[in-house]
Amino acid sequence: MNTLLEFKNVSLTYQTYTDEITAIDDLSFSIDRGEFVSFIGPSGCGKTTILSLVAGLIKPTSGKIILGGREIQKPDGNLGYMLQKDQLFPWRTIEKNVILPLEILRKNTSKNREYANDLLDKYGLKNFKKYYPDQLSGGMRQRVALIRTMVYRPDLLLLDEPFSALDYQTRLQVCDDVYKIIKAENKTAILVTHDITEAISMSDKIIVLTSRPASLMAIHKPHIIGDTPIKKRESEEFSGWFEKIWKELN
């Protein structure tokens, strides 16, 4: 198959002056292009650590991580990272926030700016380009943050609990929006969450992790009927999957 990312027996141990914390223990999995994969596990099990490894921000203590056929060395602008808080820069307008990665990667060409502009138009931010982040709602800001991760056309999107700072109503809506955007732009995405319903409603593949140190508990492919997360939540199989994963996590 068309593999994009592969973990081979990856372990990671954090060193602090007084302690050694093993966050990941002998983890192996692979992710195909175009897949939407969720990692689910209890808080503090090592989910963010997995994303930091994929992003090349830290190196595994042992094992190999292969992205697009090559071992990851350091961050190189081949992936987009979306965090719990939108982390938009308050002194930049929406338009300027979105092209930040282009400036960093020295790809600030008129063609790329146009692409950024198109994405803003397409996903309901057309009239807000000249606004500052604090003039937008939380849901809109997360959408901007997502678009910011896509303007430089990375192979892979990393989403670290991007909805957990939103209230419940907004969360369902933003969840839907993000899913649609990612599918429409045909991106591969890794979502990290501790919310089971979020994982089931969004993913092609769910990887369940044990509590710390994170290792593989189970891999599921819930082929749930429905075009969008909100529709999937209404489907019949949904509660079955929920119970199954809930049992695994407890």
Ligand X SMILES: Nc1ncnc2c1ncn2[C@@H]1O[C@H](COP(=O)(O)OP(=O)(O)O)[C@@H](O)[C@H]1O
Residue 127 burial (C-beta neighbours within 10 Å; 0-12, 13-18, 19+): exposed
Joined together, the tokens standing for residue 196 give 């089971």
CA–CA separation, 108 and 37 (whole Å): 30
Determine contact, residues 28/216, Cβ cutoff 8 Å: yes
CA–CA separation, 128 and 100 (whole Å): 17
- Please report how close the Cβ of residue 31 comes to ligand X at its closest, in angstroms: 18
By CB under 6 A, tell whether 46 contacts ligand X.
Answer: yes
Q: Which does 44 bind (CB under 5 to 8 A by kind): ligand X, Mg ion, another protein, none?
A: ligand X
Residue facing Mg ion at closest CB distance:
48
By CB under 6 A, tell whether 49 contacts ligand X.
Answer: yes
DSSP three-state, residue 95: helix
User: Would you say 145 or 206 has its CB closer to another protein?
Assistant: 145
User: Would you say 10 or 79 has its CB closer to another protein?
Assistant: 79
Q: How many residues does the chain have?
A: 250
By CB under 6 A, tell whether 142 contacts ligand X.
Answer: no
Determine contact, residues 90/134, Cβ cutoff 8 Å: yes
Q: Which does 139 bind (CB under 5 to 8 A by kind): another protein, ligand X, Mg ion, none?
A: none
By CB under 6 A, tell whether 44 contacts ligand X.
Answer: yes
User: Would you say 71 or 103 has its CB closer to another protein?
Assistant: 103
CA–CA separation, 28 and 202 (whole Å): 22
Determine contact, residues 228/184, Cβ cutoff 8 Å: no
By CB under 6 A, tell whether 16 contacts ligand X.
Answer: yes
Candidates 101, 30, 82; CA nearest to 192 is 82
What residue ranges bind another protein (CB under 8 A)?
A: 55-57, 74-77, 79-81, 83, 85, 87, 89, 91, 100-101, 103-105, 132, 152, 158
- Please report how close the Cβ of residue 54 comes to ligand X at its closest, in angstroms: 12
By CB under 6 A, tell whether 45 contacts ligand X.
Answer: yes
User: Would you say 61 or 78 has its CB closer to another protein?
Assistant: 78
Instruction: Using CB under 6 A, list all residues that contact ligand X.
Output: 14, 16, 21, 23, 43-49, 212
